[in-house]
Amino acid sequence: EMSDDDRMSLTTAVSDEEDAESVHNSPYRAKQTGTAAASFNCTGAVRKAGFLSVKKWLLRKKHQIELARKRGWKGYWVCLKGTTLLFYPCDSREGRSVEAAPKHLIIVDGAIMQPIPEHPKRDYIFCLSTAFGDAYLFQAPCQVELENWVNSIHSACAAAFARHRGKTGTLHLLQEEIYRLEKAIESDHKLKHMADLQQSVVSDPDTKQQINTQIVQWEENLERLHCEQFRLRCYMASLQNGELPNPKSLLTHVSRATKGTLNKLGVFTVSSFHAFICARSPSLLNNLLAGRGATKRRPPMLSRSNSGSSRRSLQMSSRDESEKTVKVSVPENQFVHVFLREAMSVEEFLASACSRKNLNPMEHFVRVKKRRDMEDHNYFVPHRTDLIETYLHTHEIVEVCAKILYQVELQRTTLEHMWGFSVEAELIENADRQDELCCYVSRVEDKSVAMHNGIIKSDEIMVINGAIVRDLDMMYL
């Protein structure tokens, strides 16, 4: 069984000194050094290449971050291909004698780049914080190269952000998402303020503790939303060749508890805050990572509501009389009544329906059909983050079904013949509060090998070539 420490970093080591240590400490990570990077098949155009010095700075450990134990600088010829940084050993800054295969890699989907002009010993330093909760320091040869690297990586992340949403017009999409996040921030801020007021007048210790727990959840969610918004503003700035947003615009929204944690490490910066947020609850992993498609999913939390509906009690047990119910079909020809809340997602709806019959939501899914008289192939499986009310208004059939397991063997005649499907990864917290890797089909091409073998979008892949997905490192997907 792979421990959380083994999942600590989704990149191969960027220091030969640490290679030996990781081989010694973990038989699993021992397989992940140069060979893994060399065999990693990343797609996309080469956006940028050049000589950089690099060292590890922060590493994710469980739901926290820690300073890397050995942080020596090492030079590489670095290539940004798609949204992957490939590190090639070389003998000179001019790129002479570059080895054919990369020794290390870093996946930069959902990353934030920040210049570090205040570094005490070196010039032209910038920091890369990843959606996995790691952070690395780089030294460029000059200020122009530093700015080019920052813009190139941000632009690649922005393109991935749009591409994995199946849309064009990257700038417009970023603007829409920033506006959506602003509305979510306003909503959560109002709810947190109401909770603060209620806590000040409640005397019952249990109720007070319950409200305090909810306040902490809202604080964490507000931090995540502010960090996400700052990240997208960085992408917009790079696309428009403008200045990066002021770090203070993000750091002023850090909670007292988080600030205390980062100050203990001596690393209160945008990069450390971003890494900490991703390590604590990688919402990157609200998409791989806010870009490619990996997300960290917890059991459904408190739902958001607008100021009108937020007048209801904050206690979980209370239920507004105006809430609607819907009758839903579940396995074995049974029915349950589900209470509908405002802005309820498909995932929350599924969890509520399953709880009525003690079913495991991870083993079931929601499917809908517009009319009862339509044939079964007209069923549609909505995305778990969609609003369930959207489908209740337009579809006559909404039901919960059990997932089924089936095996597919894909074959091709040549290596040039692609399989015709893409996957996205997601971290899910199990009952033991450990991260488990899940893998879903995100795209299937028409007339491809995958389509001919019955693979469809949203299928979950449980086993690949005999390897259980939850025991794999995301790098191999």
- SS3 for 258-295 is HHHHHHHHCCCCHHHHHHHHHHHCCCCCCCCHHHCCCC
Question: Buried b vs exposed e over 427-437: b needs ≥16 C-beta within 10 Å?
Answer: bbeeeeebbbb
What local confidence, expressed as pLDDT, does residue 61 receive? Answer: 81
* Bridge pairing between strands 467-468 and 104-107: unpaired
What local confidence, expressed as pLDDT, does residue 94 receive? Answer: 62
Is 80 exceeded by the pLDDT of residue 214? yes
Architecture of domain 319-402: Roll (3.10)
What pTM, to 2 d.p., does this model score? 0.60
Amino acid at 359: L
pLDDT digits (tens, 9 = 90+) for 91-139: 666 655 566 778 888 889 899 999 999 888 899 999 999 988 899 999 9
Helix ranges (H only) for 76-204 are 143-163, 170-201
Distance (Å, whole) CA 298 – CA 462:
19
Q: Is 74 exposed, middle or buried (0-12, 13-18, 19+ CB in 10 A)?
A: middle
What local confidence, expressed as pLDDT, does residue 13 receive? Answer: 41
Residue 457 vs residue 297, higher pLDDT: 457
Average pLDDT, the chain: 78
pLDDT digits (tens, 9 = 90+) for 37-84: 554 555 566 889 999 999 999 998 877 899 988 778 999 999 998 888
What local confidence, expressed as pLDDT, does residue 9 receive? Answer: 35
User: CATH 3.10.20.90 residue ranges in the chain?
Assistant: 319-402
Distance (Å, whole) CA 469 – CA 424:
12
Amino acid at 243: E
What local confidence, expressed as pLDDT, does residue 298 receive? Answer: 46
What local confidence, expressed as pLDDT, does residue 333 receive? Answer: 85
Residue 303 vs residue 152, higher pLDDT: 152
Lowest mean pLDDT among 94-108, 171-185, 349-363, 407-421: 94-108
| Residue 409 CB-half CA count within 13 A | 1
Is 60 exceeded by the pLDDT of residue 248? yes
Residue 312 vs residue 364, higher pLDDT: 364
pLDDT above 70: percentage of residues in the chain: 75
pLDDT digits (tens, 9 = 90+) for 390-417: 888 888 889 999 988 888 888 887 777 7
Q: Identify whether the C-beta of residue 154 lies closer than 8 Å to the C-beta of residue 234.
A: yes
